[in-house]
Amino acid sequence: MQDTKTAPVVSTEFEKEVYSGLTDFPKHLSSKYFYDKKGDKLFQDIMAMPTYYLTDCEYEILETNKKEITELFTGFGSFDLIELGAGDGKKTKILLKEFSDKKIDFTYVPIDISDNALNQLHNSIEKELPKINIQPVQGTYFNALKKINNRKNRKIILFLGSNIGNLEHDQAVDFMTNIQKLMQPNDLLFMGFDQKKNPQTILDAYNDQEGVTAAFNKNVLARINTELNANFDLDQFLHWEVYNPETGSAKSYLVSKIEQTVRVDRLDLTVNFNQWETIHTEISQKYDDKIITWLAEQSGLKMMTEYKSQEYGYKNCVFK
């Protein structure tokens, strides 16, 4: 007899990725789905924690070098300041304020996957820096880059927070190559890279005692529960961080504490977990100079200059 059971309608990117990630072996889910209203707030809380040194390092770099950076950016007249993964824009505001005080002619184009983060950013810029011309674009990096491809202005592209680290090396090369292809001779790319350091410092940054990072990691399950009508019991999963000092990859997992079955109604999917089975959820790659040079070479980018933090090995590189 023919099987008349219809295949589940898996239409959005989220649905497709959750379906393939939970039916794959080993299981995986993308960290880009950490970010909804709750996830954005949790990430802001993470950035405010002293153990998450990345934010303080980049803040210090921008604050210390803002005059030199302004000269570098404004050497060729007006520009679009395009920020990929803008989030709450807290660090970028150091530059925005400097540009605004110096009456520099530019348009701020923040790009983020989260509508909620973009709305909050838009409102806060209108309040704190009302003279700034802001044109937010919602979307994933790749989709948003396509949307802005036809803009005629000179581009300065910001990719802060070591966001590049959330991509595997081959994806990072693809990503940087795509950016390079969009760049004209006077355009610049300004990127943050977290560097290899004492492995314990890295583990502490991704495994806080308060459990904020754990809640952030588990937020992908919370989203599947609410958006895809699933019944993950978040307490039955453990947040687990590993760091490999040889490769520089910090990886986050959710580990099933028990043997369990989870139902995702919207996908008509039943997912079985063995006890201690994992879901890989995030990579936060740490770099050294060799890897950064290799990434730039592979992507056809030339390093112009770099700014280093005093403590905790973190750097911002400028490419053209």
Other CB atoms within 10 A of residue 144 CB: 21
Give the residue with the Cβ less far from ligand AVI, 213 or 278.
Answer: 213
The window from 155-163, 169-177, 229-237, 261-269 that contacts ligand AVI (CB under 6 A) reads 155-163
Place of tokens 């405010």: 48
Tokens coding 137: 């674009």
CA–CA separation, 103 and 80 (whole Å): 14
Give the residue with the Cβ less far from ligand AVI, 100 or 162.
Answer: 162
Rounded to the nearest whole angstrom, what is the least distance from the CB of residue 115 to ligand AVI in the complex?
17
Place of tokens 């050497």: 75
Give the residue with the Cβ less far from ligand AVI, 15 or 194.
Answer: 194
CA–CA separation, 195 and 71 (whole Å): 26
Instruction: Classify each residue of 74-113 as buried b or exposed e, where b means 16 or more C-beta atoms within 10 Å of its C-beta.
Output: beeeebbbbbbbbbbbbbbbbbbebbbeeebebebbbbbb
Binding mask 104-143 for ligand AVI (x = CB under 6 A): ----------------------------------------
Number of helical H runs and strand E runs in the chain: 10, 14
Residue 166 interacts with ligand AVI (CB under 6 A): yes or no? yes
Cis peptide before 110 (omega within 30 of 0): no
Query: Looking at 92, 163, 180, 299, which residue binds ligand AVI (CB under 6 A)?
Result: 163
Give the residue with the Cβ less far from ligand AVI, 100 or 281.
Answer: 281
CA–CA separation, 20 and 309 (whole Å): 40
Residue 213 interacts with ligand AVI (CB under 6 A): yes or no? yes
CA–CA separation, 166 and 189 (whole Å): 18
Give the residue with the Cβ less far from ligand AVI, 80 or 194.
Answer: 194
Query: Looking at 10, 18, 22, 46, which residue binds ligand AVI (CB under 6 A)?
Result: 46
The window from 7-15, 88-96, 156-164, 291-299 that contacts ligand AVI (CB under 6 A) reads 156-164
Phi (first) and psi of residue 175, to 5 degrees: -60, -50
* Element (DSSP H or E) covering residue 16: helix 13-23
Residue 282 interacts with ligand AVI (CB under 6 A): yes or no? yes
Give the residue with the Cβ less far from ligand AVI, 314 or 319.
Answer: 314
Rounded to the nearest whole angstrom, what is the least distance from the CB of residue 131 to ligand AVI in the complex?
29
Residue 206 interacts with ligand AVI (CB under 6 A): yes or no? yes
Rounded to the nearest whole angstrom, what is the least distance from the CB of residue 45 to ligand AVI in the complex?
10
Other CB atoms within 10 A of residue 266 CB: 17
Query: Looking at 21, 39, 136, 161, which residue binds ligand AVI (CB under 6 A)?
Result: 161
Instruction: Classify each residue of 204-225 as buried b or exposed e, where b means 16 or more C-beta atoms within 10 Å of its C-beta.
Output: bbbbbeeebbbbbbbbbbbbbb
Task: Give me the amino acid identity at 53.
Answer: Y
Residue 284 interacts with ligand AVI (CB under 6 A): yes or no? yes
Residue 40 interacts with ligand AVI (CB under 6 A): yes or no? no
Query: Looking at 55, 100, 114, 162, which residue binds ligand AVI (CB under 6 A)?
Result: 162
Q: List beta partners, residue 84.
A: 111
- Indicate the residue whose CB is closest to ligand AVI: 284
Number of residues that bind ligand AVI (CB under 6 A): 12
* Element (DSSP H or E) covering residue 142: helix 141-148
**Site residues (CB under 6 A) for ligand AVI?**
46, 54, 161-163, 165-166, 206, 213, 216, 282, 284
